[in-house]
Amino acid sequence: MKLGYVGDSSYRTVIEHCKEVALGVNEDTEAVIVESSMIEGPRDLPLLNTNLAVRNLISTPALQAEFHQVLGLVEGFAVTYLYGFMSKERLGDLLEMTYSTRFLAGEIGSQLGFVQGTGLACSSDTKMAVRQLTEVEGMLQSMKYRGEILLGVTRDYQICSLQFGHFTGGFALFTELATANPQAFYEWCLGEEEEPHLYEQSVSVCTLLSYPPFPYNTEVGFSIKAPSGAERHLYRMSIDRCEVAYSATWGKDIFEAMRRCRKTIDNCRAYNKEIQYRIDFGRRQKFLLNQEKWLSLGGE
């Protein structure tokens, strides 16, 4: 299926990891992925990651407040996140991920949104632990939303946030654990494919690669160089004129995942002597729903 992508910063991430996704829309495009849920997209093609109901919801505070009340979303601090895809009928496999927003190891430095993280596939009983998931799924179905979602979950298993649209950190961790090319998940959302899944007994890790003077100056047009062997584990995105990349890998335990991630970074360092990244990826994570699995895979 020929998909188009509309967006500015993460288009390379999606295009380079899917089979038939092209930037923009042309006469051969059959459906469109938008980066942000506030992007309207063409009206005559199926849209992923947005629709009119979502855009109205986000842009209308009164509707948003009512939406949160109906779903029982709480005010609170998310200690873990669930990322996945919503099809025409239901939510697919969910990834539980924990991630850091600080630029430097030790949780210091600039706040950048997503810097390094770790992901595990959720088990089938996630809806029993997070009761609001059933209501969220039903609401998204009634809104005819199809595409990516990101849910924040508090320490007492309540959903405190819901984000529509593409999220590169989650996409990278999810793709590394997927049993199929990520395009299969987009096509499943459109009803064109059988449901793909995540590997359950594996773990994924990722960390942000960049050049100085990032993040203090993003107007310098650097790009991460990489050999072909490392390229498949890089998830590139643009921040102003600066291009950064997430190095993401998977393993049957955390030690294998971290070793593969370090190998990818070392391969990139051969081309980028001044590359910078956090070295504490995959360490001392806390999972709310998958802590037992995390410990069995070598987690601390």
pLDDT digits (tens, 9 = 90+) for 92-139: 999 999 999 999 998 898 999 999 999 999 988 898 899 899 999 999
Instruction: State the Cα–Cα distance between residues 50 and 38, nearest whole angstrom.
Output: 7
Q: What is the pLDDT of residue 222?
A: 78
Give the mean model confidence (pLDDT) for residues 262-273. Answer: 90
Q: What is the pTM of this model?
A: 0.95
Residue 215, SS3?
coil
13 closest CA partner among 35, 30, 31: 35
Instruction: State the Cα–Cα distance between residues 260 and 239, nearest whole angstrom.
Output: 26
Give the mean model confidence (pLDDT) for residues 269-286. Answer: 90
Q: Would you state the structure tokens that stand for residue 157, as one six-digit string?
A: 């298993």
Q: Would you state the structure tokens that stand for residue 186, as one six-digit string?
A: 């987009």
Q: Amino acid letter at 209?
A: L
213, HSE (Cβ side, Cα atoms, 13 Å) = 7
Band of pLDDT at residue 251, cut at 50, 70 and 90: very high
In CATH, what number does 3-296 get? Answer: 3.30.470.20
229 CB burial (10 A radius; 0-12, 13-18, 19+): exposed
Which DSSP category does 154 fall into? -
225 pLDDT more than 90 = no
Label the pairing between strands 3-6 and 31-34. parallel
Q: Would you state the structure tokens that stand for residue 194, as one six-digit string?
A: 């059988």
271 pLDDT more than 90 = no
Paired with 242 in beta bridges are 239
Give the mean model confidence (pLDDT) for residues 153-168. Answer: 96
